[in-house]
Structure 1
């Protein structure tokens, strides 16, 4: 009998979030699952790691599934580091992060704890995928994307991923029968136009609530935002080598 793949599951919404519970259920049908996820929400943490405080990582039982689970006091990137260094006795065959409550398309990939966990796995040479559903509600319906998540995961296990590449998968908030399929895309060039709501505490101290509006500056039809707006699941191959290779030759022409 062929050995089932070892799959590491994590997220940024916290270990009790419905999104990760759905992802665990899907992965249990594919392989042996170990979960290491934050003990509280860590959205927007990016690739932060804990360097000025202690970390805890403890076994936990949340449901009666066959998976092994650990809750970590750190960030999503911390969770992957802890899993690899302290919990697993071998490198997993795949790391999946999510399913995130909300979009991680376009520039959101920079801020996303979900994607940072996947990228951390990729840095360690582990094939990795970040999954997101475009529904920020806590009780979002993740059943609509189960088959798609499973199919993409199986393809990643079968075909592998090149070193230095992870996948950013975003799923539109549509019924299963309304999703038109998948599109391989590039990341749209978009930005957040921040709005700071300035307030005063009862003691007269000023404080701010951050909000904002996403602005898509990219009109291309090959982007993740375009795919999602037109009913497709977007799959963007993401690299974590941030070198602007095309700029090296030009910089070498400077009189430095």
Structure 2
């Protein structure tokens, strides 16, 4: 049987250690093609390139030795997936995996995440997709404790499929392997960012701002991604991109609009 084709992307850029780890793991499961940003694109959400030129470059890798092709893209994570599906791949991938992100994409962070937006873009096109994140922002983060869990999750997704309209948001706590308790299927915790701007003045007298903030967890439930991560579990949240609040439709119909 033909090996599954696995599309790998991310938002930290094609040279990021997290992506290199994911490529190494996916090569044990199938044929791999990488299409990732040529520079960091964290926090880009689902932005796409509309008013400037998009470039792609095939990276100098030995396909026979590495078993995969790699392309850098000048655009956003969502651009990478669009370009891969429309121009660079000769067949539809069996799954798209995004990451491993350097930093958490749990709870409300999923809204801003380029990692998850790449996975969502694949999901929109009917491709099973998973975003992986490690709760460690260090560029030299140790991803090794998550290897077997990531392989297990992708293997199960390939075997069982992921329901249409759903992508998986996987977050891995910053722990040693012996401290990891396993995997929990969770809901997204209610939380937000208490944001502020650090206002400064340039040498030329112009005001500029740095966005800062504090994460506020508003959810005490023990079935959430934040609870799982705080208690030594890898969280898996089934995330949908249909943003319709279906439970409110009946109420709005009572308005007499």
Q: Bin the TM-score by the shorter chain.
A: over 0.9
Take 1:58 and 1:112, find their aligned partners in 2: how far apart are those partners? 24
Gaps in structure 1 of 5+ consecutive residues: none
- Superposition pairs of residues 1-256 of structure 1, within 5 angstroms: 2-61=1-60, 65-256=66-257
Residue-pair matches, total: 255
CA contact (8 A) 2:10 2:37 kept: yes
Take 1:202 and 1:57, find their aligned partners in 2: how far apart are those partners? 37
Give 1:62 shift: 5.5
Gaps in structure 2 of 5+ consecutive residues: none
CA contact (8 A) 2:61 2:69 kept: no
Deviations 1:94-123 (A, max 9, x none): 000000000000000000000000000000
Runs of 4+ aligned structure 1 residues displaced above 3 Å come to none
Take 1:158 and 1:228, find their aligned partners in 2: how far apart are those partners? 26
Take 1:248 and 1:173, find their aligned partners in 2: how far apart are those partners? 41
Deviations 1:203-239 (A, max 9, x none): 1100001111110000100000000000000000000
Deviations 1:62-102 (A, max 9, x none): 57522100000000000000000001111100000000000
Take 1:62 and 1:140, find their aligned partners in 2: how far apart are those partners? 24
Deviations 1:163-212 (A, max 9, x none): 10000000000011110001000000000111211100001100001111
What TM-score results when the alignment is normalised by the length of structure 2? Answer: 0.98
Deviations 1:109-149 (A, max 9, x none): 00000000000000000000000000000010011111110
SS at structure 1 position matched to 2:227: helix
Take 1:62 and 1:233, find their aligned partners in 2: how far apart are those partners? 33
Take 1:229 and 1:195, find their aligned partners in 2: how far apart are those partners? 25
SS at structure 2 position matched to 1:107: helix
